[in-house]
């Protein structure tokens, strides 16, 4: 799956409904003077102070004392920007607005080079999302969103690699390289540790942040990787990449095998075609391989589970207020043969939904390693100018109530060796 930050594929899946939330942008009618106000309520509350003469000194003293107390309270609570705002209120505080005004003035008067307004806007909103401390939150420009839509439809602009987390405290690692991609032609390989992207050290960055650095607006990308003891540098031109398709074959003992690399809009049709083809070949058993599958669209994985399970609760979501949605399958499976599912530590999110649902209802034996453990949902909020924000809004649980975030799916049969996992699945289904 092309990652949500419009770079290469990551385990940062899109786990979201196809319906995006559309938000109109406000009119851009702020003047230089307007920046000093919190909002319209402040303007309405500003009044001229009329001077009043008091004959009695004590009455005057009481009035002045009251004004002083009021001023103290206003300053203490940040009305005049003297105290830091908390939470999201900092975004609209006078302190923030004044600081932005001063930065603008410095840039206008002192900065040596021309300013790219589009880039400044992008980094401004990207910074807000970064401030949440959530690796899945993101801001996308209109151009970014065009690339994301292409990736969900089966293609995206990039170099053709899947990036995942390395060992704890290590660098991000290349999980796979797409056949025929710029990355493969340049010589990148699976298990290469990514040390630098575009000359910037990625130590301390998550694999998601590293993938975000490979943006579609770049004509070429330079990666420095470590392969064994050797440090190597690769430069490649970005190109349109076809996301990895569903592949299938018939194995021994009439055992069908389907590899699902990710869950995009094209995945459901590809999966159903694979099942139909294998059924025509006399399939009696089926192995589903979601190893290294970083996730994808919730609708897609639910549609595939609907093909495999009778009527039941597949997965449900909960937001911060305890509200959410439930996703059900309906009667009418396209196959009812015995199933096995292969998973590993890089099976995440939507692939965990699949494994968890099939495990909950005893519909498949899960074989391999404990999965990644991503059980939260991101929603994309579109604006009228084509840009968008992505926020973590819900957690999800399997139909059987498994909360997998940070925990993962425990396989029914633990097999660490990846070559042996497939052999064990064939044996289990045969027996």
- Cβ burial of 143 (10 Å; 0-12, 13-18, 19+) is middle
φ/ψ bin of 8: left (φ > 0), alpha (ψ from -120 to 50), beta (otherwise):
beta
- CB–CB of 195/202 below 8 Å? yes
Residue 213: strand, helix, or coil? coil
- 360 flagged as catalytic: yes
Question: How far is the CA of 52 from the CAs of 19, 47, 64, 68, 393, in angstroms?
Answer: 60, 15, 11, 16, 54
**DSSP line for 15-36:** -S-S--EEEPPPP----TTGGG
- Number of alpha carbons in the 13 Å side-chain half-sphere of residue 431: 8
374 is catalytic: yes
Catalytic option among 349, 351, 387, 390:
349
Q: Which of 14, 150, 360, 387 is catalytic?
A: 360
Tokens at residue 74, please? 């206003």
Residue labelled with tokens 């042996």: 420
Q: Which of 14, 205, 374, 390 is catalytic?
A: 374
Radius of gyration, alpha carbons of the chain? 27
CA 370-376-382 angle, 5° bins: 140
Give the span between the Cα atoms of 338 and 300, in whole angstroms.
Answer: 22
Burial 211-223 (b: 16+ CB within 10 A, else e): bbbbbbebeebeb
d(CA 313, CA 326): 7
- Output the six-digit token pair for 272: 């159903």
Residue 45 tokens, joined: 């509350």
- What is the Cα 229 distance to its own chain's centre? 32
Q: How far is CA 27 from CA 44, 201, 384, 385, 389, in A?
A: 20, 40, 11, 12, 19
Task: Say how far apart CA 374 and CA 207 lie, in whole Å.
Answer: 14
Would you please indicate which residues are annotated as catalytic (active-site) residues? Answer: 349, 360, 374
């Amino acid at each position: 799956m092309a990652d949500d930050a419009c770079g290469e594929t990551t385990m940062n899946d899109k786990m979201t409904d196809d319906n995006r939330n559309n938000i109109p942008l406000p009119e851009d009618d702020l003047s230089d003077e307007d920046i000093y106000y919190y909002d319209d309520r402040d303007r309405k509350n500003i009044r001229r102070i009329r001077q009043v003469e008091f004959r009695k000194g004590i009455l005057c003293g009481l009035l002045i004392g009251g004004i002083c107390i009021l001023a103290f309270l206003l300053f203490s609570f940040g009305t005049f920007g003297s105290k830091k705002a908390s939470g999201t209120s900092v975004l609209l505080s006078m302190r923030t607005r004044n600081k932005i005004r001063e930065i603008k003035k410095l840039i206008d008067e002192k900065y040596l080079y021309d300013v790219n307004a589009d880039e400044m806007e992008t980094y401004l909103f990207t910074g807000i999302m970064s401030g949440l401390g959530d690796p899945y939150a993101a801001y996308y420009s209109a151009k970014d969103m065009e690339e994301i839509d292409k990736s969900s439809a089966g293609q995206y602009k990039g170099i053709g690699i899947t990036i995942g987390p390395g060992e704890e405290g290590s660098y991000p690692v290349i999980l796979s390289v797409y056949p025929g991609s710029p990355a493969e032609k340049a010589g990148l390989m699976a298990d290469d540790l990514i040390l630098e992207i575009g000359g910037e050290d990625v130590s301390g960055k998550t694999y998601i942040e590293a993938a975000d650095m490979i943006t579609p607006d770049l004509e070429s990308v330079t990666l420095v990787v470590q392969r064994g003891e050797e440090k190597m540098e690769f430069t490649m031109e970005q190109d349109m990449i076809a996301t990895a398709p569903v592949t299938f074959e018939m194995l021994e003992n009439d055992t069908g095998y389907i590899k699902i690399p990710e869950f995009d809009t094209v995945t459901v049709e590809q999966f159903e075609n694979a099942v139909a083809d294998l059924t025509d070949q006399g399939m009696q058993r089926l192995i589903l391989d979601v190893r290294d599958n970083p996730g994808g669209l919730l609708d897609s994985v639910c549609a595939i589970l609907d093909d495999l399970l009778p009527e039941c609760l597949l997965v449900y979501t909960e937001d911060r207020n305890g509200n959410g949605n439930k996703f059900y399958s309906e009667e009418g499976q396209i196959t009812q043969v015995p199933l096995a599912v292969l998973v590993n530590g890089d099976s995440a999110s939507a692939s965990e939904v699949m494994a968890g649902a099939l495990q909950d209802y005893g519909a498949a034996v899960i074989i391999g390693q404990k999965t990644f453990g991503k059980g939260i949902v991101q929603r994309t909020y579109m604006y009228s100018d084509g840009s968008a924000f992505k926020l973590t809004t819900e957690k999800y649980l399997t139909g059987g109530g498994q909360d997998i975030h940070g925990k993962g799916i425990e396989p029914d049969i633990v097999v660490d060796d990846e070559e042996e996992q497939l052999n064990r699945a064939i044996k289990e289904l045969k027996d």
